[in-house]
């Protein structure tokens, strides 16, 4: 009996290792932790971030990403890299436009469900393994931004990664502006950078109220 249990444990361990090895570290044809020079000429179209040790690169007509696999539901693609030029985030996004409060329908939330389904399959996970988190940030002009984030965290070898499908909302001139972001992110990068300026908040179900648009 003891030998049988040991045998079953080894099978389970082997299965877990095999599943871990199958996990992708690629999104939109770009592998996280790769040298960014595999995908773009780093001497052109370079955008510095607030933290000087990190750099943002955009896919443009003049300087497109090599091997980029676009999704028809997204318009813009960007990479963030560290000072060693290693890719730490791969993101595709789409601005869903401005909508008045009386006509507001949360398109971003609907599109998030679509991406959860296809990415869960790509990363050999269940849709139910995504966790939902809510954040808030205010810029230097006092404008509030709300973020609804579906997050799927996993490990690949010794690396901690996160698939993030995120909706952002803000009020500009009494119109809601929303954007969807689909990313593969190094978890340490996320914690040490983004979460330094964002505040985790409770669930918000009424975006109009949160953005002071409900009574307009």
**Using one digit for the tens of pLDDT, what is the confidence trace for 54-72?**
789 999 998 899 999 999 9
Torsion sign, CA atoms 120, 158, 57, 191? positive
Name which of 108, 99, 36, 27 is nearest 65 in CA terms.
Answer: 36
Tokens representing 197 are: 């300026």
By percentage, how much of the chain surpasses pLDDT 90? 56
d(CA 89, CA 36): 11
Q: Encode pLDDT of 72-123 as tens digits.
A: 999 999 999 998 999 999 999 999 987 777 778 888 989 999 999 999 999 9
Q: Is the dihedral of CA 44, 49, 52, 57 positive or negative?
A: negative
Of 163, 146, 145, the residue nearest 154 (C-alpha): 163
What does the pLDDT read at residue 19?
A: 43
Residue 22's pLDDT is 52
Tell me the mean pLDDT in the region 165-178.
91
Total residue count of the chain as it appears in this document: 216
Q: How many CB atoms lie within 10 A of CB 181?
A: 23
CA geometry: angle 128, 91, 81, nearest 5 deg = 125
In this structure, what token pair is assigned to residue 61?
């007509």
Rounded distance, CA 153 to CA 46, Å? 29
Residue 188 has pLDDT above 80, yes or no: yes
Within its chain, how far is the Cα of 72 from the centroid?
17
Tally the C-alpha atoms within 13 A of residue 41's C-alpha that lie toward its C-beta: 8
pTM of the full predicted structure? 0.84
DSSP class per residue in 166-179: EEEEEEETTEEEEE
* Residue 151: how many other CB atoms lie within 10 Å: 18
Burial code (b: 16+ CB inside 10 Å, e: under 16) for 46-81 equals: eeeeeeeebbebebeeeeebeebeeeeebeebbbbb
């Amino acid at each position: 009996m003891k030998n049988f249990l040991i045998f079953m444990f080894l099978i389970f361990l082997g299965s877990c290792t095999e599943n871990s090895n199958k996990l992708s570290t690629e999104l939109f044809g770009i592998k996280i932790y790769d040298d960014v020079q595999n995908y773009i000429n780093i001497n052109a179209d370079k955008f510095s971030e607030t933290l000087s040790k990190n750099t943002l690169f955009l896919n443009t007509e003049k300087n497109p990403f090599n091997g980029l696999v676009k999704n028809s539901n997204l318009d813009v693609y960007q990479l963030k890299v560290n000072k060693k030029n290693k890719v730490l985030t791969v993101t595709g996004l789409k601005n869903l436009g401005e909508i008045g409060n009386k006509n507001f329908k949360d398109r971003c939330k609907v599109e998030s469900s679509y991406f959860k389904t296809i990415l869960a399959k790509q990363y050999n996970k269940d849709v139910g393994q995504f966790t939902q988190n809510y954040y808030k940030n205010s810029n230097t002009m006092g404008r509030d931004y709300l973020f609804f984030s579906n997050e799927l965290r996993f490990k690949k070898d010794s690396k901690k990664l996160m698939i993030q499908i995120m909706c952002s909302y803000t009020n500009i001139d009494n119109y809601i502006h929303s954007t969807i972001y689909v990313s593969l992110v190094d978890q340490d990068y996320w914690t040490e950078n983004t979460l330094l300026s964002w505040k985790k908040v409770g669930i918000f179900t009424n975006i109009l109220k949160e953005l002071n648009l409900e009574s307009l």
